[in-house]
Amino acid sequence: MSLESILKSYKIIDLTHIMEEEMPRPQVPYGHISWKSYSKGDDFNTFMFLVFEHAGTHVDAPIHLGGVEGPSIDQIPAECWMGSCNVLDMSHKKENEEVSAEDIREWEGKHGIIEEDSVVLLNYGWEKNWTTKHGVENQPYLKNNPGLSERAAQLLAERRVKLVGGDTPTIDSDANPTEPAHRVLLPRHILVLENAKNLGKLPPKGAYFIGLPIRIKGGTGCPVRAIAFVPR
């Protein structure tokens, strides 16, 4: 069977928020600035853009965490940014709550063990708070999000997964400023995806994730166009 025929048996779900001026983001400038314009006499339309490495739907490289010895974005092979998905429905978690190791084991009891070198995506339903209506400084999306507990992150590290992500601004609960999930995963070179969307459209197992960053030399993170292939 050809790759083309295999791909026709899947539909693509876009997991990526639009990059735009009023998107929820830290207090870091974002600009999409006209450089050349046909309406102003140029032969082409082009823009310059200024963007934080960790804005929008993005990934974290291990070097993002202070004290971790690489690798940076450009040093990570492309295959590390893709893999079979385990999508954990944690939409019952309230503001600032943490996912426990027991939550993960309970999910595995229903759907099967999380396999080595797979991708784990946590669906909190938090994307409902994503809005461009309130300006950068007053974004409900950026406050009180749930996230992974330290023990839950350790369990995923024991499973030897390659990437952990979710539909929140950080994989850690906003209530825990020490960011234990980052401190467990990144030193073990487990990659991180943040600010995803449409995770509720993915099955618990069976989807395939791809989220490729630009190869930025020394990059600590990068916005991605994240997608998932879902069996039809």
Each residue of 55-82: pLDDT tens digit?
999 999 999 999 988 899 999 999 999 9
- Structural domain contains residue 34: no
Task: List, for residues 116-126, the tens digit of each pLDDT value.
Answer: 999 999 999 99
- Structural domain contains residue 165: yes
What does the mean pLDDT of the chain come to?
95
Confidence grade of residue 153 (pLDDT, cut at 50, 70, 90): very high
Identify the pLDDT of residue 136.
Answer: 62
Confidence grade of residue 200 (pLDDT, cut at 50, 70, 90): very high
Residue 140: Cβ within 10 Å count: 16
Confidence grade of residue 132 (pLDDT, cut at 50, 70, 90): confident
Identify the pLDDT of residue 29.
Answer: 84
- Structural domain contains residue 115: yes
Residue type for position 136 = V
Task: List, for residues 82-128, the tens digit of each pLDDT value.
Answer: 999 999 999 999 999 999 999 999 999 999 999 999 999 999 999 99
Residue given tokens 């295999």 in the structure block: 6
DSSP 3-state of 103: helix
- Structural domain contains residue 71: yes
Q: Is the dihedral of CA 202, 208, 214, 219 positive or negative?
A: positive
Query: Which domain does 144 fall in, by range?
Result: 3-25+53-231
- Structural domain contains residue 107: yes
Measure the CA–CA gap between 228 and 232, rounded to whole angstroms.
Answer: 12
CATH number, domain with residue 77: 3.50.30.50
Highest mean pLDDT among 27-31, 47-51, 163-167: 163-167
DSSP 3-state of 67: coil
- Structural domain contains residue 48: no
- Structural domain contains residue 121: yes
Strands 98-99 and 147-148: parallel
Identify the pLDDT of residue 138.
Answer: 73
Cα of first residue to Cα of last residue in the chain, in angstroms, is 17
Number of domains the chain is built from:
1
- Structural domain contains residue 94: yes
pTM for the model: 0.95
